[in-house]
């Protein structure tokens, strides 16, 4: 076979793979699960913000439009408070309908339109990383046929289709082209790859400094493991390397079976870890919910076969499944005329609009109808006003220092065995950590007796781009066992202190 025959064959093979990858037909199991989970997660965030919608998003409150940061003033219309209250409640209704699959396509289009608008109107709390990802996912779902299975829409017409089929005819689930699902998968893979590239250019990420400072704070939400992990910073550094390697490899390995299991498994563990260590609640739920777009038809068939085998082999589970199936058939809605479902959907929208406006009116958050009259502005306390208008204070020297620890082993720039008891003559490593930002600082490290007499002193410059400094202390062998301390000083003043204990040598104890 010559070159003229090889090139057309290769081109035809690539074209066939491209066609199969984007346009093969499958039952949209994965998209249906994403459709159920992602709007449900967003519904929780919308419901918690609805009581404050007039203040956050309307002209009656104090919105923070995202476009104004880039000097695009009046980029989107700022609606009156009553209209915003009704539309924000309608957004919750559309998200709920998207989750259950009722008028699925229209609900998703309305959801992504309103959700994006409100994100643009509040860049402080609403426009977040998870909201950007979720809005793209809602858009892709609106282009798909994710409501064709496991939805109210398919439920309403299920019996009618079954009755129209001849007896003993097997009911086949609808199959559609998978390109919306592929676009969603590519979106997730590229997000991870872009995040990895960003982290490679972020100072302090690979060393674990960034995650360490984040884990110490409760800026997002309370978390049970953040403070504990900061005691083992080398673990944070290792986790940072694992995360960045996984994010780069994700786009290459997730298309094969075992690569998909490995990539999604590490991703789920990573996001669950951020929940417990960084206090991220919504972002992990959104990310793990989108992972179901990687679920294939063969995966669902295998899981279904395993579940049926389990049901047949377990008596109580078989009875429970039969009872649940009977209950579902009992309460399954009857087939309805083509106009009834849209009419009920529109009626639900109108009810939600009117009811939300009425409830918010009764709350009277601005006190317009209080017995004592409208709320009035009070004069600010002069002392508070003077404090707010005062020039920015210079950061105190001690606020530039975070911690001082002692040990004997260091890996990757971090102490791995923090301790406070040492043998006489043993080298002591002292690590001083600083808070960003700081200027170039000269730091003195003094090893002192309990009464304050300096036994050993050293010092060095810590450049502004560094957040850690290490000192080596060699206590003289002539020192007596007892209590000592390490003193960190800057500009002649002590900013940190760590107590240590010197123990006698083992040979001396044996004698």
Asked if residue 322 and residue 424 are part of one domain, the reply reads no
What the block records as the tokens of 366 is 């601005």
DSSP 380-442: PPHHHHHHHHSPPPPPPGGGGEEEEEEES-EETTEESS--SEEETT--EEEEEEEPSS---EE
Structure tokens at 78: 């700022």
Do 283 and 163 share a structural domain? yes
**Where is pLDDT greater, at 6 or 416?**
416
pLDDT digits (tens, 9 = 90+) for 68-79: 988 898 899 999
Q: Are 143 and 25 in contact (CB under 8 A)?
A: no
- Answer yes or no: do 249 and 128 share one domain: yes
Question: b/e string for 463-486 if b means 16 or more Cβ within 10 A?
Answer: eeebbbbebebebeeeeeeeebbb
- Distance, in Å, from the CA atom of 464 to the CA atom of 462, rounded to the nearest integer, reads 7
Contact assessment for residue 389 and residue 416, using Cβ atoms and an 8 Å cutoff: no
**What confidence score (pLDDT) does residue 191 get?**
94
- The pLDDT value recorded for residue 167 is 42
| Confidence at residue 165, expressed as pLDDT on a 0 to 100 scale | 47
Count CA atoms within 13 Å of residue 99 on its CB side: 15
One domain, residues 323 and 409: no
For residue 18, what are its two tokens? 């491209």
Give the DSSP letter of residue 221. Answer: S
**226 and 95 assigned to the same domain:** yes
The Cα angle at residue 475 between residues 471 and 479, in degrees rounded to 5? 160
Which of residues 277, 311, 331 is at a domain's end? 331
Task: Identify whether 357 is part of a domain.
Answer: no
Of 164 and 95, the one with more pLDDT? 95
Q: Is residue 88 packed enough to be buried (19+ CB in 10 Å), middle (13-18) or exposed (0-12)?
A: buried
Query: Which pLDDT score, from 0 to 100, does residue 218 have?
Result: 80
Residue in this structure with the two tokens 């107590």, named with its chain if needed? 499
**pLDDT recorded at residue 10:** 63
Residues 266 and 128 in one domain: yes
State yes or no: pLDDT of 508 exceeds 60: no
Q: What is the four-CA torsion angle of 302, 304, 307, 308, rounded to 10 degrees?
A: -110
| Among candidate residues 331, 358, 385, the one where a domain is terminated | 331
Question: For 83-97, how does the pLDDT look when each residue is reduced to its tens digit (9 = 90+)?
Answer: 999 999 999 999 999
The confidence band for 138, taking pLDDT boundaries of 50, 70 and 90, is very high
pLDDT digits (tens, 9 = 90+) for 274-306: 899 888 999 999 999 999 999 988 888 888 888
Domain that holds residue 425: 399-510
Rounded to 5 degrees, φ, ψ at 260 are -65, -40
Domain assignment present for residue 379? The answer is: no
Instruction: Report helix angle 29-49 to 179-200, nearest 10.
Output: 60
356, part of any domain = no
| pTM listed for this prediction | 0.85
Average pLDDT, the chain: 86
Residue 426 and residue 327 share a domain: no
pLDDT digits (tens, 9 = 90+) for 398-408: 889 988 999 99
User: How many angstroms separate the CA atoms of 90 and 94, rounded?
Assistant: 6
Structure-model confidence comparison of residues 423 and 324, the more confident one: 423
For the segment 337-394, what is each residue's pLDDT rounded down to a tens digit? 555 788 889 999 999 999 999 999 888 877 777 888 777 778 888 888 888 888 877 7
Q: Is residue 257 part of a domain?
A: yes
Percent of the chain clearing pLDDT 90 (strictly above): 45
Considering only residues 160 and 183, tell me which one the structure prediction assigns the higher pLDDT.
183
Q: Are 49 and 324 in contact (CB under 8 A)?
A: no
Provide the token pair at 195: 């995040």
Of 29, 21, 87, 5, give the one whose Cα is nearest residue 349: 87
Residue 52 lies in a domain: yes
Question: Lowest-confidence range among 12-21, 192-201, 489-498?
Answer: 12-21
**In a shared domain, residues 419 and 324:** no
DSSP labels, 319-360: HHHHHHHHHHHHHPPPP--TTHHHHHHHHHHHHHHHHHHHHH
Beta strand ranges found along 101-244 (DSSP E)? 176-177
pLDDT, tens digit (0-9, with 9 covering 90-100), for 436-494: 888 899 999 999 998 889 998 999 999 988 888 999 998 888 888 999 999 999 988 99
Q: Are the C-beta atoms of residues 135 and 186 closer than 8 Å to each other?
A: no
Tokens 């910073």, located at residue: 233
Is residue 146 over pLDDT 50?
yes
246: in domain: yes
In a shared domain, residues 131 and 268: yes
Residue 10 lies in a domain: no
Q: How many domains does the chain have?
A: 2
Chain segment 203-237, per-residue pLDDT in tens: 778 878 888 888 888 878 888 888 888 888 888 88
Q: Is residue 367 part of a domain?
A: no
pLDDT score of 37 more than 50 = yes
CB atoms within 10 A of CB 436: 15
Domain identity same for 169 and 303: yes
pLDDT tens-digit readout, 250-271: 999 999 888 899 999 999 999 9
Question: Is the domain of 290 the same as that of 417?
Answer: no
User: Minimal CA–CA distance to 367: which of 357, 377, 354?
Assistant: 377
Q: Comparing 108 with 161, which gets the higher pLDDT?
A: 108
Confidence at residue 7, expressed as pLDDT on a 0 to 100 scale = 62
Chosen domain end from 331, 360, 389: 331
Give me 459's structure tokens.
């010092």
Shared domain check, 290 and 187: yes
Residue 507 pLDDT exceeds 90: no
Tell me which of 92 and 318 has the higher pLDDT: 92
Predicted pLDDT at 168? 43
Q: How confident is the model at residue 335 (pLDDT cuts 50, 70, 90)?
A: low
- CATH number of the domain residue 418 falls in: 2.60.40.1930
């Amino acid at each position: 076979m010559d070159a003229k025959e090889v090139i057309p064959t290769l081109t035809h093979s690539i074209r066939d793979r491209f066609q199969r990858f984007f346009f093969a037909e499958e039952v949209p199991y994965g998209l249906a699960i994403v459709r159920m989970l992602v709007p449900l997660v967003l519904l929780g965030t919308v419901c918690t913000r609805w009581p404050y919608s007039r203040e956050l998003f309307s002209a009656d409150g104090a919105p923070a439009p995202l476009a104004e940061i880039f000097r695009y003033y009046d980029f989107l219309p700022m609606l009156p408070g009553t209209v915003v209250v009704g539309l924000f409640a309608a957004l919750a209704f559309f998200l709920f309908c998207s989750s259950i699959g009722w008028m699925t396509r229209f609900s998703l289009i309305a959801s992504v339109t309103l959700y994006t608008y409100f994100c643009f109107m509040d860049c402080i709390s609403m426009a977040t990383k998870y909201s950007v990802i979720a809005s793209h996912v809602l858009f892709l779902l609106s282009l798909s046929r994710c409501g064709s299975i496991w939805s109210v829409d398919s439920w309403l017409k299920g019996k009618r289709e079954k009755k129209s089929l001849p007896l003993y005819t097997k009911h086949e689930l609808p199959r559609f082209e998978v390109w919306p699902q592929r676009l969603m998968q590519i979106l997730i893979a590229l997000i991870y790859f872009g995040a990895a590239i960003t982290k490679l250019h972020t100072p302090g990420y690979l060393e674990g400094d960034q995650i360490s400072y984040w884990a110490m704070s409760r800026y997002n939400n309370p978390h049970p493991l953040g403070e504990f992990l900061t005691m083992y910073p080398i673990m944070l550094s290792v986790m940072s390397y694992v995360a960045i390697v996984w994010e780069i490899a994700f786009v290459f390995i997730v298309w094969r079976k075992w690569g998909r299991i490995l990539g999604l498994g590490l991703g789920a563990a990573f996001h669950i870890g951020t929940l417990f260590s960084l206090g991220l609640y919504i972002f992990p739920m959104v990310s793990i919910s989108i992972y179901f777009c990687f679920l294939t038809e063969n995966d669902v068939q295998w899981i279904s076969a395993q579940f049926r085998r389990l049901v047949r082999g377990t008596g109580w589970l078989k009875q429970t499944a039969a009872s649940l199936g009977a209950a579902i058939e009992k309460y399954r809605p009857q087939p309805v005329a083509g106009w009834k479902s849209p009419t009920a959907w529109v009626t639900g929208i109108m009810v939600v609009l009117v009811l939300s406006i009425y409830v918010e009116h009764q709350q009277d958050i601005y006190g317009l109808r209080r017995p004592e009259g409208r709320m009035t502005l009070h004069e600010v306390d002069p002392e508070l006003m003077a404090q707010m208008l005062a020039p920015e204070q210079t950061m105190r020297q001690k606020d530039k220092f975070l911690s001082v620890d002692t040990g004997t082993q260091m890996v990757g720039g971090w102490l791995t065995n923090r301790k406070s008891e040492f043998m006489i003559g043993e080298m002591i490593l002292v690590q001083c950590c600083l808070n960003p930002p700081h200027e170039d600082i000269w730091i003195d490290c003094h090893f002192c007796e309990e009464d304050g007499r300096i036994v050993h002193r050293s010092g060095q410059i810590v450049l502004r781009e560094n957040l850690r400094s290490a000192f080596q202390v060699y206590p003289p062998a002539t020192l007596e066992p007892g209590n000592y301390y390490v003193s960190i000083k800057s500009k002649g003043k002590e900013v940190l202190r760590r107590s240590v204990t010197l123990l006698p040598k083992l040979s001396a104890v044996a004698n």
